[in-house]
Structure 1
Amino acid sequence: MVKLQENESTISDSEWEIMRIVWTLKHASSTQVIEELQAKKNWTESTIKTLLRRLVKKGLIATKKDGRRFIYTATVSQTQIMIEAAQERLNRMCDMHKGEVILKLLSDSPISKKDLAQMKEVITEKEKDAPEKVPCNCLPDKAHLC
């Protein structure tokens, strides 16, 4: 898992927008990021540069000076950050209901045949040790069914 710097446990929706551009382009100048974002958002150049600085501070993108411009590259993969964000959300939920949430996400998400095959393998392996019912973990030291 990617560990963001202390006090920086998440990235904002706006920061996600920038990260998606940097991940897609592999490396991008601030001008490219600004152009791409302004094509779909009504953001000022200074707002975008502030967001870029925050992402550098969080260690999610690196910057390199290339003449008069800055080039940004991601220091973490998109999949790593997506897993961390999803896990952070799931950790807030009742264990008993996580399966339902994952099923709904699976049902509603576009997924490749390759990913589905891998999921089948994981499910087959997890089935070997899966309990009949996952207990609620909402209240400490209590056996509840939510």
Structure 2
Amino acid sequence: MNKANKISDSEWEIMKVLWKNSPVTSSEIIKILKQYTSWSPKTIHTLINRLVDKDIVQVKKQKPFYLYSPKVSEEECRNIKTRSFLEKVYDGSIRLLISNFIKDEKLSDEEIDELRQILDSKSSSER
């Protein structure tokens, strides 16, 4: 499903609220987002409506409210966004992504060990 590629950065903030709290009303979304954004309620309503129009968020009328919930899982969206980023920036090469990241980051011994374990388990599972 390529729906996740249609989600803007602002819409992603709405999705994070929905993934964590759904189903929720628009008032609840506004209340949560007001804690860390300066967006007006109108802006938030516009973002919610865009997500509904994109068929990424579903809305159910439960009088007197509308309840919103995601139609796409967070994991699915992350996987699609990651794949899209990998294709766009690194021509699909995960090796380039990882080597670029590791070169520019200071990693603790614990993080290096964890990465080794991930690679070792990946290697043994594909034999």
TM range (shorter): 0.7 to 0.9
Contact residue 62 and residue 73 of structure 1 kept, 8 A: yes
- Structure 1: which amino acid aligns with 2:2? K
Identity %: 26
2: CA distance, partners of 1:22 / 1:56:
12
**Structure 1 partner of 2:40:** 44
- Using the alignment, how far apart are the partners of 1:92 and 1:125 within structure 2? 28
Q: Moved runs in structure 1, 4+ residues, more than 6 A?
A: none
Aligned to 1:3: 2
Q: Measure, in 2, the Cα distance between the counterparts of 1:37 and 1:122.
A: 38
Letter in 2 for 1:88: S
2: CA distance, partners of 1:67 / 1:96: 47
Following the alignment from structure 2 to structure 1, what is the Cα–Cα distance between the partners of residues 5 and 93?
A: 24
- 1:121 corresponds in structure 2 to 121
Structure 1: give runs of 5+ residues left out of the alignment.
129-146
Matched-pair contact (CA < 8 Å) for 1:65–1:71: yes
Larger Rg: 1
2:22 to 22, 26, 51: 26
Q: Compared with structure 1, are the counterparts of its residues 117 and 64 closer, same or farther at alpha carbon in structure 2 (3 Å cutoff)?
A: farther
CA RMSD in angstroms comes to 3.0
Q: Which has the higher contact order (CA 8 A, sep 6+)?
A: 2
Provide the rounded CA distance (Å) in 1 between the counterparts of 2:31 and 2:88. 37
TM-score (structure 2 length as normaliser): 0.77
Q: 8 Å contact 1:10–1:85 — kept in the other structure?
A: no
Q: Deviations over 1:29-52 (max 9, x none)?
A: 111001011111111111000000
Q: Residue in 2 aligned with 1:141? A: none
Which residue of structure 2 aligns with residue 138 of structure 1? Answer: none
User: How far did 1:98 drift?
Assistant: 2.9
Alignment check: 8 A CA contact 2:30 2:41 kept: yes
